[in-house]
């Protein structure tokens, strides 16, 4: 074979070998690099997007708080809409109720924004349950007529607040809250803020006994307040000036008898009034 041809073939072989070697080297570096680098970035981005989406659509009740600024109630975030009707569950067994204390009336010489339920004087063993998902915001334990009484305030994230007073025997959960409060003193029912607020759910048992055991005065106070807007009574000049120093609750109390489905509301209004003096007279229930 001519020498020139041999040289040409040799050069071709060397060139081909070089090209193959180069491809092999490139392939080695490409396929030995961590494959997760690009995917990890995508995953992080997607996770962040999902997190942001969850934050914008899944605001829990504990994320929204309501506070009083000495003038009005306000929330730290836009609250969800309240249900319609506002209430669906009674905190007590209506079949055991013997009379209704109406909210928005004078009882015992003082104005009462809250109402309540009275029962026969045979037994204090009346259960009280949570009527609406909410958080415990403040509470008190105090002594009245020689017996320790318990008082709790609750707020739902939509802006509906409610309270119970004259609870006698608490469940374990609420007793634990009560034990964190200042020692009970005679006729000192000032509340203490609960930090952080304690979450409660509808139907949860709060107390197994109410009222005063020694005298068999069996009743529980129940007040409901719409923190979103002052009530109609507060728009009346005489009312507004008379209770200007107590408007935190008096200006926001509502007639909770009207806020239940018709069947329940009718039963409540058919019951006798629990206060002999004010009867069914009410600034809220018109």
Residue 227 backbone class (left: φ over 0; alpha: ψ -120 to 50; beta: rest):
alpha
- With residues binned 3-state (H G I as helix, E B as strand, rest as coil), the percentages for the chain, rounded to 5, are 35, 30, 35
Cα–Cα–Cα angle for 241, 79, 135, rounded to 5 degrees: 85
Exposure string over 93-118, b if 16+ CB within 10 A, otherwise e:
eeeebebbbbbbbebeeeebbbbbbb
Measured between alpha carbons, how far apart are the two ends of the chain, in Å?
A: 121
Is the domain 94-270 a CATH 2.70.70 member?
A: yes
3-class DSSP state of 182: coil
Each residue's pLDDT tens digit, 212-226: 999 999 999 999 999
Q: Are strands 147-155 and 160-170 parallel, antiparallel or unpaired?
A: antiparallel
pLDDT one digit per residue (tens) for the chain, 286 residues = 444 434 444 433 344 444 444 334 333 333 334 333 333 333 232 333 333 333 333 334 568 999 999 999 999 999 999 999 999 999 999 999 999 999 999 999 999 999 999 999 889 999 999 999 999 999 999 999 999 999 999 999 999 999 999 999 999 999 999 999 999 999 999 999 999 999 999 999 999 999 999 999 999 999 999 999 999 999 999 999 999 999 999 999 999 999 999 999 999 999 999 999 999 999 999 8
Which helix (DSSP H) or strand (DSSP E) does residue 170 occupy? strand 160-170
Domain range summary for the chain, segments of one domain joined by +:
94-270
């Amino acid at each position: 074979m001519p020498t020139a041809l041999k040289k040409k073939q040799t050069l071709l072989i060397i060139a081909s070998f070089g090209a193959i070697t180069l491809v092999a080297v490139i392939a080695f570096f490409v396929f030995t690099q961590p494959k997760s680098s690009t995917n990890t970035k995508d995953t992080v981005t997607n996770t962040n997007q999902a997190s942001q989406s969850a934050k914008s659509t899944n605001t829990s009740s504990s994320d929204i708080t309501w506070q009083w600024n000495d003038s009005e109630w306000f929330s730290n975030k836009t609250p969800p809409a309240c249900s319609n009707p506002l209430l669906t569950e009674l905190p007590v067994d209506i079949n055991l109720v013997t009379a209704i204390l109406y909210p928005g009336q004078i009882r015992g010489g003082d104005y009462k924004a809250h109402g309540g339920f009275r029962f026969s004087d045979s037994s204090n063993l009346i259960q009280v349950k949570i009527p609406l998902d909410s958080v415990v915001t403040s509470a008190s334990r105090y002594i009245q007529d020689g017996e320790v009484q318990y008082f709790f305030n609750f707020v739902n994230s939509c802006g509906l607040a409610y309270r119970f007073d004259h609870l006698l025997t608490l469940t374990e959960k609420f007793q634990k809250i009560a034990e964190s409060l200042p020692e009970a003193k005679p006729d000192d029912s000032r509340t203490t803020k609960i930090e952080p607020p304690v979450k409660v759910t509808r139907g949860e048992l709060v107390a197994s006994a109410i009222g005063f055991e020694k005298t068999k005065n069996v009743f529980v106070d129940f007040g409901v307040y719409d923190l979103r807007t002052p009530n109609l009574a507060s728009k009346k000049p005489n009312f507004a000036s008379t209770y200007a120093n107590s408007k935190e609750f008096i200006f926001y109390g509502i007639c909770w008898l009207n806020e239940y489905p018709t069947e329940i509301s009718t039963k409540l209004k058919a019951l006798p009034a629990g206060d002999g003096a004010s009867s069914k007279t009410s600034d809220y229930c018109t």
